[in-house]
Each structure stands twice: as C-alpha cells, then as structure tokens.
Structure 1
Amino acid sequence: MSSHHQVLIIGGGSAGIMVAAQLLRQKKIKDVAIIEPADTHYYQPAWTLVGAGTYDYSKTARPMSSIIPKEATWIKDKATGFDPENNTVHTESKGDISYDYLVVAPGLAYDFSLVPGLGEVIDKGVVCSNYTDPKHTWEVIKNFTGGTALFTQPTTPIKCGGAPQKIMYLAENHFRKSGVNKKTDIIFATGGTVIFGVKKIAKTLMEVVDRKDINLRFHHKLVAVDGEKQIAWYEMGKEITAGGCVVISSNEEDDLKLDESFQYNYKDVEMTRDGNRYGIHYDMLHTAPPSVAPKFVKDSPLVNDAGWLDVDHQTMQHNKFSNIFGLGDVAALPTAKTGAAIRKQAPIVVDNIDLLIKQDKMGTKVYNGYSSCPLVTDYGKMVLAEFDYQNNFTPDPKLKQMFISDSSKEHWRLWMLKKYGLPHLYWNKMMKGKHV
C-alpha cells in the first residue's frame, strides 16, 4: 500500500512540528503529513532543570496527538529509508509514501558503541545523563556524598553543546547548600580547547568556574568507561609533543599530574595511565551520549561524508535533491543543535517550500547560523549565549524589552525566561505555527 502527500515531514520533534504548523497556519498549504512513531513529545530544554530537581519531569511531556496539528495527517510509523529519485520514503509498516516535497527532521540518535562501556552503565548507579534520564541525574546529585564529580562529553556533535556544563553548575550549587562541596572535587573534561566558543560568554563562564572552584580539563577525548572500576578513559586530542610539553608528569608512578596547557585550576584527583590513555576515577559521572544521525538517514544517499544530512547552510535545501529540505539536529550545519536554532531555520524552510509550490522558485531568506544556549549558572541565574556561524555574539533585541541590557552576564530574569517564559512560548506559540 502506498500514499502520496504534497509535503511529507519526517519527525514530530520541534523541527517537524514547527514546519508543519507554519505551512498549515501561515502559508495555507493543505496537504501536509508527518511520519512519527512516538506517542509522546518532550520539551527537552527543561530536562536540565529536571536533572537539578527544580522542574517536574511530567510537565515536559505532552501526548504527540495533542502536538501534531489537527489539519496534518499523522502517519504513526517509522521511516526506514529513502528513494529520492522516485520521491519516496519507505516505512516500517505503512509501505511506501511518496511526496512532492520532503522535510527531513528526525533529530539525532545515540550510538553508545562509540564510547565502549558507557551503554552498560548509563542511567544506572552513579552514572547519569540529562539527555537520557534527567530524573536519575537528580537522584545521583541528591545522593552524592563527596569525592570526584566528573562532568564530561563525547567528541561527537551533541544536542545543546552547553548542556553538559549547565548541570555541573547547578550540581555545585546543590553540593554547596548541602555542605558536600567541602569534600568534593568537580571536574569538567571536554575535547574542546575553551569553555565556550563565544569569547564574551567564555569570559563570564570562566568567572563562574572560578567562583565554583571547578577544574577544567581540555583536549580530553572520552574513549571508554569502566563502570566496575569507575574510571572514565581519555585520549588527549592534542599532540602531546607540541612545544615539547609532557601531558602528564610523574615523579613517582602513582603521582600523575596534568601539564598546565591541558587544564585550568588543577585538582589532584586519582588518575590511572594505560599506554596513551588516561583514566579519571569518578564517584559520580554525568555525560552527554555520543550522537549520530539516525541509522535510516546515515545509511541513505542524503548524507555528507560525516554522516549528517547534506543541506545548504543558508537555505536548508538538500545539496543534491532540490525538493528535499532538512533542519534541526540531523542537519549538517556548523552551529549548535538547539531548539533556538530550529526557531530560525523553520521559517526559511517553510518560505522556500511555499514559494516552490506556488511560484516554482526559492525564497531570498537565509539562515545565518543563529543558535542560542541558555547557560544556567546557578539556581536563579542564567547567561544567554546567542551566536551565529562565525561565533559572533548576536543578542536578540527582544531581550532588551525584558530589561536585560547584557545577556552575556548572569541574570535572574534570564532564569525566569528559561524556567517559565520559554516553555510557555514553546507550547503555545512555536508548536502552533505562530510567529515568534
């Protein structure tokens, strides 16, 4: 059995729903279908707050049936592959579905095989992730009694690049309130070279790191986790011979110390060496899962060499198939994978499809890489990192109306925006296809 739709969308997440809702509401396109197998739609940005015990998990979930626009056709099934030459998508049980225009927005998938050992321990015991089970994160933080609290991330692209450090700042706040901080070392180990790619934001975050006495470790590529021994294994992502420095110096075998250029605010926690790998012993571990495009996308002719959906960085149109568009986390765009990015990408996709249908031409709007990361730095404090493809700091003028003159500084009003303003906007405006 097969069916045909004028616009077919894969994915009932933020991207798919925004595009569908805007096409139907703003552009009056009649025939829009969404392929989405899930029963529940989650507002994931609030999971940071859930993991810190300050937001109700159940409030982040709504039935998918209440989110998919009434005028859209919901194809409750899994997409399994593409035949772009014949304008067709294969599904698991509903057969082939053909289209005039296709929007690929299934989000990303987790591939635990990229960090051996992590899949076995994630969301169990002292290993947690706000990305997969934020309720467990809160249990881990609440029950932590001291030792090494390790916050880390894989070197794959991940959703919201700032999320692995937001939960760390909130955890530190909780440890301080409960007095556990006196016997705790907090470590942030990242494959990157700086705390944040936008200079103005990095400056603020370094002040936060100082205030919270956090040890930053750079060039740390997470390669494995030993759940039994509670060791996270790293390889160094920088030539260790660069400038003739030794990454770890040791006078005696058991006294390992990191070279200065690999870290900031050193904490002498237990480390192990095995060849070119360095293990950090943890008493709690929070990480983002290693992320990839979903298998049916990755194994298709639609991806670039890195395995992400190959779209034009400015128009979101596929680089090879002109009636296919892609946006959101699956798209190969050199910017952060966030809902804020989707908010700016969706109208461009919608505009282009609308013009192609009605006038057989593309629009003139371009996406400049805008993304934003609400960086929660304490209970009641937040910085809003907004940036483009060039990592320029690009604050939204609407914030000026909230009396926030500089969103690169910590502010309680930004916390209110994160906890109350954005969820409200999301459910009531963005998911309904209204202009935001």
Structure 2
Amino acid sequence: MNASTTTCQILIVGGGAAGIATAASLLARDATLQITLVDPADTHYYQPGWTMVGAGIFTPQSTARSMASLIPKGVQWIKAAVATFEPQHNALTLGDGRVLGYQQLVVCPGLKLDWSAIDGLVETLGANGVTSNYRYDLAPYTWKLVQNLKQGRALFTQPPMPIKCAGAPQKAMYLSCDHWLKSGRLAQIDTQFYNAGGVLFGVADYVPALMKYVERYAIDLRFSHRLVAVDGPGKRATFIRTQADGSSETVEQSFEMLHVVPPQIAPDFIRSSPLADAAGWVDVDPATLKHRQFANVHGLGDVTNTSNAKTAAAARKQAPVVANNVLVALGRRGESAVYDGYGSCPLTVENGRIVLAEFTYGGKVAPSFPRWLLEGRQPTRLAWWLKARVLPALYWHGMLKGREWLAKPKKADTRHG
C-alpha cells in the first residue's frame, strides 16, 4: 500500500440488502466501530417487491429509496465503484484510482444480471411484449402486458441456477394467470413455462401445492429448455433443449408476451479477483461466511458460493452472523456465529394466497411459524399478508436498522448438521 492509502477499520463493499443490514447489525453491537461502505448507486431497491409491481399490487415507487436515507448514521459512504482487490495487502482500488486499506473486509455487492447473454434481448426489453420483473423499470411493463393480453401465447422463462429467488420466474407466471382467470381470459391464453432446470422447485416438499396451480391455470411445463435468443419484432423465442442423453436441439416458439429471467453471474470485478472461486463467486465457508483463503474477509448476500437461496431473507439471517464474526476477528467478541443456510421464497400462487417456502442447507424445510398458525406447504392468506404487509416493513424498519427480529445468530456450539 502506498502513502496515500486510507485505512478503514471495517470496509463494506455493497449497499444492497446485505451491506446495509451488516453495517446496521455491526453498529447495534458496538456503536464505536468505524465503518466505511462503498457503493456507486444513488438508489436502493426492495427487490422482493418487484413481483408485486409486475402484478399491479405494489407501486414501483414503494420499492425504491435513496441510498443516502438508508445508510446508518455514523457510516462513511464512499459513492464509487470497486475496480480491483488486493487481499494479500488488505487493500482494494476504486474505479477512480483511490486505494482503500482495511482491517476487516465485508464483500456483498450482489450479482450481475447477464441480459446480453441472450441474443437480441437487450434491444427488445420493454417493447414487443418482452418484459422482466427483474428490473425496476420493466416490472410495470409486465403488468401493462398482463392487463392488455386478451388471447395468444405467453411464455415465462427460467435460466440455469444460481439466480436471485429461484421462485420469482414462476411467481410472475402464477399472478399473471390468476389475473387472466379472474378476468375470464385464461382459456384464450396459452401459458408455457420454459425452465432450464429439471424440476419445478428445488425443495420437493413445496412442489405438490405448486402443481395444483399449474393444473388450475393449464400451464404447459417445459423442462430442460434454456432461452438463448429473442426476436422481439418477429415475436419469436429460441431455446436450447437438452435431451436425457446429453444431446441438444433448438426449439423456436412464437409469443404475444415473453417474461424473461436473465442468466445471473458474479459481478465482473469479483470474477476477476483473488476472492473468487473457479465459477466466479466469492469463496466463503458456508457456516461462518468467512473467506476460505483470507481470514479478514467475509462475504454474504447473492455474491457468495454458498448453496442457499439468493434472497433478501437469506441476507437477513446472514448479516448478524457476519457482524458477530467481524467482531470476533477484531477481538471484540469471543464466540463465532454460524449460518444454517436459511432462505425463504414466498411463492405468489394467486392474488391473495402464497405458498411460503422456507428452508435451510440441503433443502431442509425450516418454518418460522408453527403449522397450526401457518402451513407453508399449502397456499394461505396469512402468508400473503406477510408478503404484502409485514415483510416490506420488516425490511425497511427492521433488517436495514439492525433490529434482528427472527434473525438472532446461532453460535458455533449450537450448530446442527
């Protein structure tokens, strides 16, 4: 490091759900900490709300707040992008050439939506019936298309894992179908789900409830189909279908509406860094979330190579673990905390009902509520109320403020296999 290097006690890369929650959880434990957060964005988004925007239930504006309003008091915000990491020198370089040193580094910049990996997609997004709830500016277009479609074919796609919220591709589909059903148009609309994977949902316990809705909406499920190209003006989508024997074929389908979920990869500055594993994700221990190679580096949120669902619910549970373990590394706490892989996916099967999928590592079902109150494997109105009313408030006023409601970290000696 050179003489102009600024050294931070705790440096957080990323001001999304994971980064702000971690900063808040750290300060809740020790208000004397010196924390610096690096993120170039002006706006912070409540991304779980975009499914609801795409169904006309939330306004887009309700899912966005200024970054400045959310960064905890006392945290220094550097509004810049990271260019490179030098973990062997406890330093990183910003896009403008500034060098930041650190005692402890927390890496949580999220992931990259790789729109350009699908030929023709970038040029037609937001037009020609092509949309995606994975972008703030496009989710309202989804709702416009759903309202306007009277007949024809609607395609919904899901790319190979990992992606943010594996249930989101089908959530958009169910809410669209529910609108068409209730407005008397479903029989005139051919709904098809093109999934690059081989199962409807990765945790088998929830599939029976989802299949009832697939049947109710007469959805045509197409597994092992990966979207590779879109001709917007021509209203045609091209897929690669992988056969059981490993061979593949090209499949084309016309559409009136196409809801696309793009492939997702780690950000470029992570993939090219010493922090990444062979696949490009930040390489951390799945329990402690500490980097496998660099002892003073921690990772959480969508950017890590842990096998949990990439959801805000996971980040909510991870942030207190990382906060605790950063303090252990600084000598201010004695006992490490561990993350059990918790993730949650409220599957919006119709307007007013949700199948609340909650699970830990290995797809083990892990409900937050007793079954007499909320049976997550069945669609319930209570789960909808949680998604529509409780979870946004929990996010803005709990998770991002360091209030660890339902998220107290487990200590290492209480670990469960």
TM-score tier by shorter-chain length is over 0.9
Q: What is the CA-CA distance between 1:314 and the residue it aligns to?
A: 1.1
- Within 5 Å, give how 1:326-341 maps onto structure 2: 326-341=299-314
Q: What is the CA-CA distance between 1:182 and the residue it aligns to?
A: 2.1
- Within 5 Å, give how 1:192-203 maps onto structure 2: 192-203=197-208
Cα 1:405–1:413 shift into 2, 3 Å: closer
> How far apart are the structure 2 equivalents of 1:52 and 1:421?
18
> How far apart are the structure 2 equivalents of 1:61 and 1:394?
30
Q: Deviations over 1:216-271 (max 9, x none)?
A: 111112222222322221122333579xxxxxxxxxxxxxxxxxxxxxxxxxxxxx
Decide which of 310, 313, 316 is 2:283's aligned counterpart.
Answer: 310
> How far apart are the structure 1 equivalents of 2:158 and 2:336?
37
Match of 1:267 in 2: none
Task: Provide the identity percentage.
Answer: 43
The 8 Å contact of residues 146 and 183 in structure 1, kept in 2 or not, is answered as yes
Matched, 1:236 2:241: yes
The 8 Å contact of residues 186 and 217 in structure 2, kept in 1 or not, is answered as no
Q: What is the CA-CA distance between 1:337 and the residue it aligns to?
A: 0.4
Decide which of 353, 358, 365 is 1:393's aligned counterpart.
Answer: 365
> How far apart are the structure 1 equivalents of 2:333 and 2:206?
42
> How far apart are the structure 2 equivalents of 1:393 and 1:204?
15
The 8 Å contact of residues 121 and 227 in structure 1, kept in 2 or not, is answered as yes
Match of 2:410 in 1: none
> How far apart are the structure 1 equivalents of 2:246 and 2:35?
57
Q: What is the CA-CA distance between 1:208 and the residue it aligns to?
A: 1.2
Match of 1:104 in 2: 107
Match of 1:271 in 2: none
What secondary structure does 1:400 align onto? coil
Q: What is the CA-CA distance between 1:276 and the residue it aligns to?
A: 2.2
Match of 1:348 in 2: 321
Matched, 1:26 2:29: yes
Q: Is 13-22 or 384-393 further displaced after alignment?
A: 384-393
Match of 1:371 in 2: 343
> How far apart are the structure 2 equivalents of 1:360 and 1:83?
27
The 8 Å contact of residues 188 and 215 in structure 1, kept in 2 or not, is answered as yes
After TM superposition, where is structure 1 displaced by more than 4 Å over at least 4 residues in a row?
none
Cα 1:359–1:426 shift into 2, 3 Å: closer
> How far apart are the structure 1 equivalents of 2:204 and 2:347?
14
The 8 Å contact of residues 156 and 292 in structure 1, kept in 2 or not, is answered as no
- Within 5 Å, give how 1:120-269 maps onto structure 2: 120-132=123-135, 133-240=138-245
Task: Compute the TM-score of the two structures, normalised by the length of structure 2.
Answer: 0.92
> How far apart are the structure 2 equivalents of 1:102 and 1:124?
41
AA of the residue aligned to 2:379: E
- Within 5 Å, give how 1:68-87 maps onto structure 2: 68-87=71-90
The 8 Å contact of residues 44 and 66 in structure 2, kept in 1 or not, is answered as yes
Cα 1:25–1:359 shift into 2, 3 Å: closer
Match of 2:395 in 1: 426
> How far apart are the structure 2 equivalents of 1:357 and 1:315?
15
> How far apart are the structure 1 equivalents of 2:307 and 2:262?
19
Q: Is 275-284 or 189-198 further displaced after alignment?
A: 275-284
What secondary structure does 2:337 align onto? coil
> How far apart are the structure 2 equivalents of 1:405 and 1:276?
44
What secondary structure does 1:302 align onto? coil
Task: Compute the TM-score of the two structures, normalised by the length of structure 1.
Answer: 0.88
> How far apart are the structure 1 equivalents of 2:249 and 2:181?
35
Q: What is the CA-CA distance between 1:123 and the residue it aligns to?
A: 2.2
Q: What is the CA-CA distance between 1:346 and the residue it aligns to?
A: 1.1
> How far apart are the structure 2 equivalents of 1:140 and 1:84?
47
Alignment: residue pair count: 400
Match of 2:381 in 1: 412
Q: Is 284-293 or 161-170 further displaced after alignment?
A: 284-293
> How far apart are the structure 2 equivalents of 1:223 and 1:314?
35
What secondary structure does 2:331 align onto? helix
AA of the residue aligned to 1:184: I
Q: What is the CA-CA distance between 1:360 and the residue it aligns to?
A: 8.3
Q: Is 221-230 or 125-134 further displaced after alignment?
A: 221-230
Q: What is the CA-CA distance between 1:3 and the residue it aligns to?
A: 1.5
What secondary structure does 1:102 align onto? strand
Q: Deviations over 1:348-402 (max 9, x none)?
A: 11111101102587x4422221111010111100011011121111111xx339x
Q: What is the CA-CA distance between 1:45 and the residue it aligns to?
A: 0.5
Match of 2:261 in 1: 288
AA of the residue aligned to 1:154: P
Q: What is the CA-CA distance between 1:303 and the residue it aligns to?
A: 0.7
AA of the residue aligned to 1:82: F
What secondary structure does 2:322 align onto? helix
Q: What is the CA-CA distance between 1:156 and the residue it aligns to?
A: 4.4
> How far apart are the structure 1 equivalents of 2:246 and 2:295?
47
The 8 Å contact of residues 9 and 33 in structure 1, kept in 2 or not, is answered as yes
Q: Which consecutive unaligned segments of at least 5 residues does structure 1 have? A: 243-274
The 8 Å contact of residues 81 and 91 in structure 1, kept in 2 or not, is answered as yes
The 8 Å contact of residues 44 and 64 in structure 2, kept in 1 or not, is answered as yes
Match of 2:298 in 1: 325
Q: What is the CA-CA distance between 1:2 and the residue it aligns to?
A: 3.3
Match of 2:413 in 1: none
AA of the residue aligned to 1:19: T
The 8 Å contact of residues 119 and 230 in structure 2, kept in 1 or not, is answered as yes
What secondary structure does 1:74 align onto? strand
> How far apart are the structure 2 equivalents of 1:51 and 1:167?
7
Match of 2:353 in 1: 381
AA of the residue aligned to 2:354: M
